[in-house]
């Protein structure tokens, strides 16, 4: 059972106590992303900075928690030196190939033996199953533009070199049910499996709302998880939250039921090893800030770290009640 966490909040007693006592895993919500760990160009004497991520890892170790790493190859939260250098034409594909290889291997070596699994690649597909145009794929890319998932394969191979003992994941949103995006990811996973490309698992983000609590949706979700699991892939639910448009008891009860049903899909699937939420307290969630405060209340603890029905929904699924 995991939660995304932020190191600057550990000084708040309620935050640290709840995280450290209720969860067995944490994942940095932001501070292992490119702009945080790789703030300066490779020509700088000190291109990397692990200060904030190290704080979270130390907290996890002090509290006997495992750490899941997020994320090495993503087109968001990149450093200004990188995006402006690409825009200016300073960095071409051969440079990006070197930069990404160095990034993956340096970050993974720094955390070898301390981060047991990595979202090596995050959000590479569009909703229609095509590959997204990103700096790593084709804009300008690392030299494998137009060759489909070859750049993802390259990143996974570099990750293997960075820490051969860490599990390598592909992580995405909107691929929870049977749809064009999950079909494309499934084809990739099956191809990688057949050819021995080092992909160990799939992360399903699961940023949902109460509309997910629908028999057809939940059935499609369970079938989709099963097909990946049948490939021999490890499944992690990586970023679950269920956004509400109000914080009243009725909505909290409905949310608790959805938490129970989603947790149950993991519990009932032997290859589903991790159930993680994107944060844990409604006090600190990405949803209000990204919806102009129209939505929120998405997590298992309220603003004062009291357990909500969502917490007991997870607990009921885990204990079979």
**List 22, 30, 66, 209, residue binding ligand G3I (CB under 6 A):** 30
Q: How far is the CB of 36 from ligand G3I (least distance, A)?
A: 8
Among 228, 235, 217, CA closest to 182 = 228
Tell me which of 27, 153, 234, 239 is the catalytic residue.
239
What own/partner pairs with CB < 8 Å and gap ≥ 24 does 45-50 have?
Answer: 48/106, 48/107, 48/110, 50/110
Which residues, numbered 140-179, are part of the site for ligand G3I (CB under 6 A)?
Answer: 173
Q: What is the DSSP letter of 306?
A: P
Nearer to ligand G3I, 173 or 311 (CB): 173
Give the CB-side neighbour count of residue 311, counting CA atoms within 13 A: 16
Active site residue 176: no
Active site residue 234: no
CB 135 within 8 A of CB 91: no
Number of residues that bind ligand G3I (CB under 6 A): 9
Strand duo 201-204 + 117-122: pairing = unpaired
Q: How far is the CB of 159 from ligand G3I (least distance, A)?
A: 18
Q: Please state, in angstroms and rounded to a whole number, the distance separating the CA atoms of residues 55 and 41.
A: 23
Which residues, numbered 189-228, are part of the site for ligand G3I (CB under 6 A)?
Answer: 205
Nearer to ligand G3I, 177 or 238 (CB): 238
Sign of CA dihedral 51, 56, 57, 62: positive
Rg (CA), the chain: 19
Tell me which of 27, 29, 123, 176 is the catalytic residue.
123
Q: How far is the CB of 172 from ligand G3I (least distance, A)?
A: 8
Q: Please state, in angstroms and rounded to a whole number, the distance separating the CA atoms of residues 253 and 256.
A: 5
User: Considering the rule CB under 6 A, would residue 239 count as an interface residue with ligand G3I?
Assistant: yes
Site string for ligand G3I, 281-300 (x = CB under 6 A): -----x--------------
Nearer to ligand G3I, 31 or 265 (CB): 31
Q: How far is the CB of 289 from ligand G3I (least distance, A)?
A: 7
**List 40, 76, 109, 133, residue binding ligand G3I (CB under 6 A):** 76
Which residues make beta-bridge pairs with 301?
A: 281, 307
Catalytic residue numbers, as ranges: 123, 239
Which residues here bind ligand G3I, judged by CB under 6 A?
Answer: 29-30, 76-77, 122, 173, 205, 239, 286
């Amino acid at each position: 059972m995991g939660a995304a966490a932020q190191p600057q909040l550990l000084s708040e007693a309620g935050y640290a106590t709840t995280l450290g006592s209720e969860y067995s895993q944490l994942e940095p919500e932001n501070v292992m992303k490119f702009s945080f760990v790789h703030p300066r160009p490779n020509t700088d004497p000190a291109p990397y900075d692990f200060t904030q991520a190290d704080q979270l890892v130390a907290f996890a170790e002090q509290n006997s928690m495992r750490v899941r790493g997020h994320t090495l190859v993503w087109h968001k939260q990149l450093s200004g030196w990188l995006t402006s250098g690409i825009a200016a034409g300073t960095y071409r594909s051969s440079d990006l190939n070197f930069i990404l290889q160095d990034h993956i291997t340096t970050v993974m070596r720094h955390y070898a033996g301390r981060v047991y699994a990595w979202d090596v690649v995050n959000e590479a597909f569009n909703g229609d199953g095509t590959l997204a145009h990103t700096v790593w794929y084709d804009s300008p890319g690392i030299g494998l533009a137009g060759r489909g998932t070859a750049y993802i394969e390259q990143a996974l191979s570099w990750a293997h070199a960075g820490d051969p003992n860490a599990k390598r994941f592909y992580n995405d949103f909107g691929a929870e049910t049977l749809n064009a995006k999950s079909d494309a990811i499934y084809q990739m996973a099956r191809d990688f499996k057949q050819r021995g490309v080092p992909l160990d698992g799939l992360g399903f983000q699961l940023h949902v709302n109460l509309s997910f609590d629908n028999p057809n949706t939940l059935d499609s979700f369970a079938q989709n998880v099963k097909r990946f699991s049948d490939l021999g892939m490890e499944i992690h639910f990586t970023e679950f939250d269920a956004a509400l448009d109000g914080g009243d008891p009725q909505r909290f009860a409905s949310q608790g039921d959805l938490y129970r049903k989603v947790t149950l899909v993991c519990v009932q699937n032997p290859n589903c090893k991790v159930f993680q939420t994107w944060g844990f307290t409604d006090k600190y969630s990405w949803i209000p800030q990204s919806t102009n405060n129209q939505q929120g209340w998405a997590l298992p603890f309220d603003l004062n770290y009291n357990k909500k029905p969502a917490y007991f929904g997870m607990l009921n699924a885990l204990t079979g009640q």
